[in-house]
Amino acid sequence: MPSAKFQKAWDESSKLGGSPSNDEMLEMYAYGKIAKGEEAKPAGVFDLKGKAKYNKYQEKVKEGVSQADAEKKYVELVEGLKSKYGLK
């Protein structure tokens, strides 16, 4: 089960003052999925956004990112994005 720190970062990620880049969003997606113990589903042939999300998730899995590491990286990423974009 994700930590309180992760849950706080998860909630704050939807309240960012600006729009994170596509790469930042993909990182959040991949780390979030792994931290929550969820698996990403393969995307359909014409779903380019879904493919990018799945590929980023697979990349992190192949790197051997553990659930605890993903939680930590997600929190760090959101903290950095809060500094960059602020909160609404």
pTM of the full structure = 0.92
Question: 49: domain range?
Answer: 4-85
Per-residue pLDDT 10s for the chain (88 aa) are: 789 999 999 999 999 999 999 999 999 999 999 999 999 999 999 999 999 999 999 999 999 999 999 999 999 999 999 999 999 8
Tell me how far apart the alpha carbons of residues 51 and 4 are, in angstroms, rounded to a whole number.
30
**Phi, psi angle pair for 17, to nearest 5°:** -70, -25
- Listed in sequence order, the residues at least 6 apart from 18 whose beta carbon sits closer than 8 Å to its beta carbon are 84, 85, 86
Do the beta carbons of residue 69 and residue 4 sit within 8 Å?
no
| 3-state SS class at 40 | coil
Q: Which amino acid is at 65?
A: V
Name the one residue in this structure whose structure tokens are 């992760």: 6
Tally of domains within the chain: 1
